[in-house]
Structure 1
Amino acid sequence: DYLAALEQAFGAGDKLFSQPYPVDDEDVSQEISAVVDAGAQVIVLASDPTVSANAIMSARGGGFDGQFLLSYVNQPSNLASELGGGMEAEAIIAGFEQLDGVLTTAYLLSGVEDEDNAAVVEHVRIMEAYGGPPSSNLSIYGQSLAETVVETLERACPDLTRSEVVAAAESLDGFHPSLLLPGIDVVLSESDHAAIQAMQVQRINADGTIDSLGEPIDVGR
């Protein structure tokens, strides 16, 4: 899907060079070397934090000084931990130094970068009050799903039949779970079941701060 979107945006000519990697191998140094040798100026990584960290280190080690674009699965704090080699403060700091200027996308608030946000504070309270695991990006995602399910059931009540629940879900056009980033909503309809259709582009800074660049980009309409 990532490659198809890039080809749609830029064409499938010599502007693009694609390089697959084995999904069961975290060492992508050879694949990244091929990308760097092809003269890439921008590297788009469709990979998880472990592979992305290896790719960034390999590319920098090979002399690449261009731009990285990462997908939303690469939470900055997780990626910094992978790059720095641990969860200790020194490792996180070292990891963020390697991430300076990297661009990523997001649609959820972060339990780390947005820890003082009222919605994140309430999320942490809920997790602690009801004996849940420590709050994380996964638990934030889970609460967002839960709020969406609750809204769907409230709209379907009192007729909780299959057809009414489906109709209620398809009526969620502009619903905003509390832990989504500002300007990003759940958008569903009878003909479109892709719930999240906007992403916020963010820049990671060496000091660990995150800058949102402009408004969320809506790709669904």
Structure 2
Amino acid sequence: MRGWHSVGSAWVAGGLALAAASPALAEKQNGPGATDTEVKVGNFVPYSGPVSAYGTVGKVEAAYVRMLNEQGGINGRKINFISYDDAYSPPKAVEQTRKLVESDEVLFLFQTLGTASNSAIMKYVNAKKVPHLFLSTGGTKFGNDPKQFPWTIPFNVSYETEGRAYANLIKTKYPDARIAVLVQNDDYGKDIYKGVRDGLGDKVSMIVAEAPYDLSEATVDSQMVKLKASGADLFMNLATPKFAAQATRKLGELNWKPVHILNNVAAQVGAVLIPAGLANAQGAMTATYIKDPTDPAWADDPGVQKWKAFMDKYYPEGDRNNSLNAYGYAAGETLEYLLRRAGDNLTRENVMKVANSIDGFAPTMLMPGIKMKTSATDHFPIEELQLMVFKGDRWIMEGGLISGEVRD
């Protein structure tokens, strides 16, 4: 299936005028997918299928590339952004990836979306030595083994990183807490819960109760009754939206008032906290790394203002209340940064070298103070998050950044 924005076999977009950041090479070096006037970048996103809502990520990234191309390209090259639909299907992702690598001959893959789809292609692209960069997934597997998968780097904060950040917060702010954990019994739940346990380290005995649940269950009411009975005074709500909402509502019904940590995947006000009852969510804490453009706190923020102007001109049909469009813009900024730093050496090896040496880059839609950093042995570019506390009807920043780095 072609991407929504095909022109012939692809959708063309791309780059800014040459920046004078690094000296030009006497002769341009081009790998597969690169010429003196063009660079091909491959992508897949579910434009159709059960999670087609994520298709907007590909659309906003394509719009960002279109903006760059209208401004003249990067280092004299236009970007040919080839984005296909994988329908959130791993077999389709494999098919589209082979097409991108073997037929389109892209220089690298960028922002391919989804844990299952990226899992299906990771061995193939690493065997082919094709840069598999800034994946749109929080799966920890994509960054925790750079020795075996040296060509793969994720973009999202990993679920383990988020879990470790909460553990560090607990050890610092609630060192005597008795912790109860509601956790989804699947790869997602295991990923974030491993981060919590690893982060607690020798303090893991602070966990006095845990209650897993399966997606097939109707409610988590029985799990919540069990967790309250444990005598815990800190509740970790490691659930996806439907069950996180049930658990938060149950806190009120049980008149249980522990410290409440809510994982980021379920921190949506409309989908989770309003159905749960805003009164039951007061004081809940979460962590994030992307600015919410609907938050009045960012009304005058230069980065958000720039994003709004971009949306008006290049993606007017996009929903300004959808944080995925802010996320896609941040990813677009990262693509621009990568290509600018690669300069006139657009070989796969050099692109990978640049991706492995980010030190302090901060897309404007990241929360203040969060910067990207990578190395050949550390493939997690973002490992800090901003602590947020729910007050009234919205999340409010509180305190400084919390880190997912392993601490004693």
Deviation at 1:154, TM superposition (A): 1.1
Corresponding residue to 1:183 among 369, 388, 408? 369
CA contact (8 A) 1:97 1:207 kept: no
Match of 1:22 among 203, 214, 233: 214
Distance 1:38 1:115 in 2: 40
TM-superposed deviation, 1:25: 4.4
Deviation at 1:115, TM superposition (A): 4.3
CA shift in 2, pair 1:103/1:209, >3 Å: closer
Partner of residue 105, structure 1: 287
What residue number does 1:90 align with?
none
Greater fraction strand: 2
The answer to whether the Cα contact below 8 Å between 2:383 and 2:404 also exists between their aligned partners in 1 is yes
Of 363, 381, 389, the match for 1:195: 381
Partner of residue 219, structure 1: 404
**Aligned: 1:69 with 2:261:** yes
> Within the alignment, does 1:161 sit opposite 2:161 as a pair?
no
1:37 Cα offset (Å): 2.0
Letter of the structure 2 residue corresponding to residue 101 of structure 1: G
The structure with higher relative contact order (CA 8 Å, sep 6+) is: 2
Among the aligned pairs, what percent are the same residue? 24
1:56 to partner: Cα distance: 0.6
1:16 counterpart SS class = strand
Paired residue type of 1:59: L
Out of 239, 252, 258, the residue aligned to residue 60 of structure 1 is 252
State the 1:139 CA deviation. 1.0
CA contact (8 A) 1:156 1:164 kept: yes
In 2, Cα distance between the equivalents of 1:177 and 1:191? 22
Of residues 134-143 and 26-35 in structure 1, the stretch that sits farther from structure 2 once superposed is 26-35
Shift of 1:209: 5.4
CA distance in 1, matches of 2:356, 2:218: 39
Distance 1:101 1:208 in 2: 11
Deviation digits for residues 95-134 of structure 1 (CA, Å, limit 9, x no counterpart): 4433211111111111221440221222122223223421
Residue 148 in 1 paired to residue 340 in 2?
A: no
CA distance 1:178–1:58, change in 2 (3 Å): same
CA apart distance, 1:207 = 4.7
Quote how far apart the aligned CAs of 1:80 are.
Answer: 4.7
Aligned ranges for residues 85-104 of structure 1 at < 5 Å?
85=275, 95-104=277-286
Q: Paired residues, what number?
A: 210
Distance 1:24 1:188 in 2: 39
Within 2, Cα distance between the matches of 1:14 and 1:200? 24
Matching residue of 1:127: 311
Unmatched tracts of structure 2, length 5 or more: 1-190
CA distance in structure 2 between the partners assigned to 1:73 and 1:97 by the alignment: 20
Unaligned runs of 5+ in 1: 86-93
Q: Secondary structure at the match of 1:18?
A: strand
Q: 1:16 to 1:150 in 2, by over 3 A?
A: farther
RMSD value, Cα: 2.3
Change (3 A) 1:49 1:121: farther
| Structure of larger gyration radius | 2
Q: Secondary structure in 1 aligned to 2:338?
A: helix
2:209 partner amino acid? F
Q: Find the counterpart in structure 2 of residue 13 from structure 1.
A: 205
In 2: Cα distance, 1:118 partner to 1:56 partner: 35
Letter in 1 for 2:284: V
The answer as to whether partners of 2:235 and 2:260 remain within 8 angstroms in 1 is: yes
Residue 193 of structure 2 is aligned to residue 3 of structure 1:
yes
